[in-house]
Structure 1
């Protein structure tokens, strides 16, 4: 459950494949997922520079829920400048921008449990309700298109006046600028996908057909496109041999364990399971009352004792560190963590309270 373990697996993959490997992984932990972002590019360049110039083929392993599509374009562009053949290895998920990156490979080697995903971009708009409550609305251009289609086809509204009223209701709910932004994002995603495919496909019409299928053929952004389906839409999907399949899965399992992808992140749970906090909670003074003490009297007694004896004293802060993303190879490794510095205390009523400060120090050498 560390880079040391994965380094050994990477070396075995490189030996098996007779070419260098670079791995880019962002956390997919629920409530704490990482994103593909531009700050990774410099460190991917460093990985490329560490590879002998005699090597003209590269394996790029990626696991991610997505992120910035421009980062995907940049990574493939860098790899194309340096290598004659790019193979993307997918041990597990490669959604959104990670799918766009995969489209730029000459071949996509997919584990049986891996998947690509739709590339329709998702937008999030902050809103405030009439009662002042803040909320967020997530949508895509496909949602807008399907709303208009629903009004026309399902409701049966066809006259211009009522269509304008329906659109005005949409604009009021979402906002005119976000609607325009969603269209622009869809165009970026579609053009990026086409460009990725055209880096290795001579048939431009086929590239456009595949890109359009991934951009608008699926009805949910989280739809999992398995390897057989990916192959059926025209992608060059390769099934790994048993040895490579096992190595790829072991890589994912090690990442999953270190990033705790199997459990949802909850800061209260993280605090309550921290050994320092557990020790402190167990040392708290207990108040022993007769079993038959009436609840109102018991509450008064506890409140009086708490007010007389309890002082609100913050405990020394604890540090909770979570792995967000890594860029690794057998030659070197970089990682980015998010740290929560948490001060905690008991209120006068003995309830546990805390204050958390979240920060990151950026990419660091492992």
Structure 2
């Protein structure tokens, strides 16, 4: 809990001669959250409390989210300090990796991973998932569209303009043309943002292009993970290996957060209800914290109902979720 983490944050600030902000988005199965625009104002609040300072340490755990929200947050952090470092205790993927490019130094534990930054497009015009509830749409991966055309050209050998046009028209029957346009725009945008951010770590154009190409497409899959050694030795990013004492401190903070958010424990509604017909719940699904600004936590709160049906096993009776609050709360 935040009350216990205060001392750990104070120790980390002393060890790094910096001001610490933690940003956590949960990937707990069934309770996932992402980097989103609503976190930007929270960072403003914390940074106003901290004030302009020489160095800021961002403790970051995330599977990704909004590219533009990540861009806004990392630029905001750089406005309040001369030096930004990001500590990666475990996962820092997709838009989180984009944020790490904007730091002067990335501190990675031995289990920490970065990932590709190729975005997926989610709009109301995306393809409907067959069998899913109305409104649930299939994310369209930027690199999946690119791979579709590379398959046609390089593997099947289709190169003439008329046949490629036919392939595009066939694709547009399944993916709305405006979504395809958004895919192209997103791919161009992510490369531009990465190029702007990475200049704090790399200066040589050839090296910058190598990193951007790898993160945007050459890694082959959005699920690819980049460990500390690859990030440093192959990509040339400014990676710092923590000392034994620093690692112990980082791991203590991460373990406390991991336990509070129950990140490894899938959401089980039947377990929450147990033998009861009604049970309240409250789950913390994201954190923005600092010693100066306190703890902002993203909370989902409500009541679960199970209506018993004679002869029907409880585990297969539909459970109703009456959610009465979802948003950010604040605690000192």
- TM-score > 0.5, shorter chain as reference: yes
Aligned to 1:240: 242
Which of the numbers 106, 114, 119 marks the counterpart of 1:108?
106
Return 5+ residue gaps in structure 1 as ranges. 273-277, 281-314
Q: CA deviation at 1:11?
A: 1.3
- SS in structure 2 at match of 1:364: strand
Alignment of structure 1 residues 336-355 onto 2, 5 Å: 336-352=298-314, 353=317, 354-355=319-320
Q: CA deviation at 1:204?
A: 4.7
Deviates more, 1:251-260 or 1:158-167: 158-167
| RMSD value, Cα | 2.2
Contact 1:121–1:186 (8 Å) recurs in 2: yes
**CA distance in 2 between partners of 1:36 and 1:266 (Å):** 24
**CA distance in 1 between partners of 2:73 and 2:295 (Å):** 17
**CA distance in 1 between partners of 2:154 and 2:227 (Å):** 31
Higher Rg = 1
**Residues 217 and 337 (structure 1), Cα distance of their counterparts in 2 relative to 1, 3 Å cut:** same
Aligned to 1:5: 4
Alignment of structure 1 residues 68-79 onto 2, 5 Å: 68-79=66-77
Contact 1:110–1:239 (8 Å) recurs in 2: yes
**CA distance in 2 between partners of 1:209 and 1:35 (Å):** 27
Aligned to 2:279: 318
Give CA-to-partner distance per residue, 1:330-366, whole Å, 9 cap, x none: 3311111112322222124455443212343422112
- SS in structure 2 at match of 1:29: coil
Return 5+ residue gaps in structure 2 as ranges. none
Between Structure 1 and Structure 2, how many residues are aligned?
Answer: 322
Aligned to 1:365: 330
**CA distance in 1 between partners of 2:325 and 2:194 (Å):** 32
Alignment of structure 1 residues 163-242 onto 2, 5 Å: 163-199=164-200, 201-231=202-232, 232-242=234-244
**Residues 78 and 359 (structure 1), Cα distance of their counterparts in 2 relative to 1, 3 Å cut:** same
Aligned: 1:58 with 2:56 = yes
Q: CA deviation at 1:245?
A: 0.8
Q: CA deviation at 1:83?
A: 0.8
Deviates more, 1:143-152 or 1:61-70: 143-152
Contact 1:336–1:360 (8 Å) recurs in 2: no
**CA distance in 1 between partners of 2:217 and 2:248 (Å):** 33
Q: CA deviation at 1:35?
A: 0.7
Aligned to 2:35: 36
Q: CA deviation at 1:98?
A: 0.7
Aligned to 1:259: 261
Q: CA deviation at 1:166?
A: 2.3
**CA distance in 1 between partners of 2:111 and 2:129 (Å):** 41
**CA distance in 1 between partners of 2:312 and 2:161 (Å):** 64
Contact 1:102–1:108 (8 Å) recurs in 2: yes
- SS in structure 2 at match of 1:137: coil
- SS in structure 2 at match of 1:346: coil
Contact 1:8–1:330 (8 Å) recurs in 2: no
Aligned to 2:290: 329
**Residues 79 and 271 (structure 1), Cα distance of their counterparts in 2 relative to 1, 3 Å cut:** same
Aligned: 1:98 with 2:96 = yes
**CA distance in 1 between partners of 2:162 and 2:201 (Å):** 48
Contact 2:92–2:113 (8 Å) recurs in 1: yes
**Residues 204 and 195 (structure 1), Cα distance of their counterparts in 2 relative to 1, 3 Å cut:** same
**CA distance in 1 between partners of 2:132 and 2:107 (Å):** 50
Give CA-to-partner distance per residue, 1:275-321, whole Å, 9 cap, x none: xxx2x4xxxxxxxxxxxxxxxxxxxxxxxxxxxxxxxxxx5x42211
